[in-house]
Amino acid sequence: MSEKETEVEKNEEIEKNIENVQSIFNSFNENLSSVKIYFSKFGNLASGEDENIKESSDTFFKEVFADMKKNKERVVNPDTQEEEELIDKEYFKNLVKRVSKRPKLTPRNYEILSRSSFLMLNNYFEYLLTDLLSYYYNKFKDSLSEKEFKVTLKELNEFETIEEATKSLILKEVESILVEKTFNELLEHFEKPLSISLEKELIQWNKIIEIRERRHLIVHNSSIINKKYISRTGNPFKLEIGDTLHIQEDYFENSWNELKIAGQLLLFNCWGKWDKDNTNNAIYQIMIQTFEDLKDKNLDLVRRTCEYSNQIEAKNEDQEDYLFRIKINHAIALKKLNNQKALDKVIKTIKIGTATPIFKIAYKIITNDFKDLPKLFKKAIVIEELNIDFYLEWPIFDFIRIEESELHKELLKTFK
């Protein structure tokens, strides 16, 4: 290996270890992905186990009922002279013992799993806010230059350098901000002193407030609705004091989506203000995230992320390319959402004249113009813009990738 290659590897390794908004972004996305996989995978197992418990209980009581019928005898009551059914005393004693050992009819595996996943989701959002505040105050130390800190001589002697002491004081400041401020005050802290837009037109912060209040009930009030929850959230689910909160699958999915869009847009705004020299990567990540969300059918997430990107002005060719691809993703999402009015507006902003074949293909599909698609497919394949895997993966082709479709069959032949 040459000295130059070795030096490049060292620089890459150093970059990996330097915390910046991009590293916080990567960590946040990894955390959210992991909790979603955890919930999806083990949620199915927990539901299956709960179903087994229910089935075992049902079977048990059916067997007991059938057995009781066999052990009944009919006798005449001397007082009423009417026939009555009696159960043998010895059998009844055994029955009581048997019932005490029955399968417990309280299937709570899914409930425990869903609540733990929900708490992890909330924690990861809190970690994000902590990481962003820590990064800001460590990078822009002057913002705390007028701040008075109380520190003892003993504490100072625990540090080897001024830098270590400074980091410790900043960490204490961040912790105090998180502890002393309510969630609304914390958001205001980002918006005013830090000048970070909360994108209130795209992020439904009222939903996130409800998510956090629900988290507080699970942790501090045994999931029981109280007056504080109702007053702080406006009670969007029309619950009553004393009701037990549950984390259903659709609620978890909606919470995951809302925390993801909030976290990502907050990150992109911090990225653009605090790490301006790395803006290319920020826009690239917007492109990647909208594509991944398209594949995962998180269409409203795509819509909101793409609407956020409309405010970005390209500063170079790379950014122009990324923003163009984001517009294509936006159009695909709107087409899938059947939002023709919004789709028409986006289509007007897409300039396809000098685009390569793959994007001309996308534009034709978005505008329902299927003429000449096979010819364009062949051109895209020749210049290696398109292959069979890409055709089967890219969501734009969902509109024509129908097994019985003649067009689909014709397009498949172009790959042979």
Range of 188's domain? Answer: 20-45+109-261
Strand intervals (E) in 42-199: 72-76, 83-87
* Mean of pLDDT values over 88-95: 54
pLDDT value at 242 more than 70: yes
Q: Does 239 share its domain with 331? A: no
> Following CA atoms 204, 210, 214, 216 in sequence, which dihedral angle do they give, to the nearest 10 degrees?
100
For the segment 104-116, the average pLDDT, to the nearest whole number, is: 68
**pLDDT score at 43:** 55
Mean pLDDT of the region 168-189: 91
Pick the last residue of a domain from 261, 295, 324: 261
Q: How far apart, in Å, are the Cα atoms of 330 and each of 347, 348, 362, 392?
A: 10, 13, 12, 19
Q: Identify the weakest region by mean pLDDT among 11-15, 59-63, 344-348.
A: 11-15
Among the ranges 42-46, 85-89, 400-404, which has the highest mean pLDDT value? 400-404
CA dist list (Å): 276 to 23, 159, 228: 15, 32, 42
Burial of 39 (0-12, 13-18, 19+ CB in 10 A): buried
At 403, is the pLDDT very low, low, confident or very high (cuts 50, 70, 90)? low
pLDDT at residue 169 in the model: 85
Say whether both 241 and 363 belong to one domain.
no
Contacts of 321 (CB under 8 A, 6+ apart): none
Regarding whether 178 and 161 lie in a shared domain, the answer is yes
Is residue 77 situated within a structural domain? yes
DSSP code at position 78: T
The pLDDT, as a whole number, for residue 248 is 87
Most confident of 266-270, 391-395, 403-407: 266-270
- Whether 50 shows a pLDDT value over 50: the answer reads no
Residues 142 and 216 in one domain: yes
Q: Using the predicted structure, report yes or no on whether residue 1 has a pLDDT greater than 70.
A: no
More confident site: 112 or 61: 112
Is residue 89 located within the same domain as residue 127? no
43: which 2 tokens?
Answer: 């949620």
pLDDT digits (tens, 9 = 90+) for 39-48: 877 655 545 5
- Confidence at residue 39, expressed as pLDDT on a 0 to 100 scale: 84
| 12 confidence band (pLDDT: 50, 70, 90) | very low
Look-up: residue for tokens 């002005």?
Answer: 313
- Which pLDDT score, from 0 to 100, does residue 229 have? 96
Please indicate, yes or no, whether residues 395 and 413 belong to a single structural domain of this protein.
yes
pLDDT digits (tens, 9 = 90+) for 193-233: 999 999 999 999 999 999 999 999 999 999 999 999 999 99
pLDDT in tens, 135-173: 999 999 888 877 777 777 777 778 888 888 888 888 888
CA distance 316 to 119: 42
pLDDT of residue 16: 47
pLDDT band, very low/low/confident/very high, at 18 (cuts 50, 70, 90) = low
Question: How many separate domains does the chain show?
Answer: 4
Over range 369-374, report the average pLDDT. Answer: 92
Mean pLDDT score, 50-79: 51
Both tokens assigned to 390: 């890409």
Task: Give me the helices (H) in 275-404, please.
Answer: 279-295, 299-309, 317-336, 340-349, 357-366, 373-382, 388-393
Q: 139 with 25, same domain?
A: yes
Q: Per-residue pLDDT averaged across 265-289, rounded?
A: 96
Give the per-residue pLDDT at 17. 47
pLDDT of residue 96: 52
Mean pLDDT of 78-90: 54
Question: Does 388 map to a domain?
Answer: yes
Residues 120 and 76 reside in one and the same domain: no
Whether 370 is in a domain gets the answer: yes
- Does the pTM surpass 0.75? The reply is yes
The token pair that represents 243 in the structure block: 């009701």
Contact (CB, 8 A) for 110 and 25 = no
CA 415 to mean position of chain CA atoms: 36
Q: Indicate if 120 and 187 belong to the same structural domain.
A: yes
How does pLDDT run across 19-38, given as a tens digit for each residue? Answer: 799 999 999 999 999 999 88
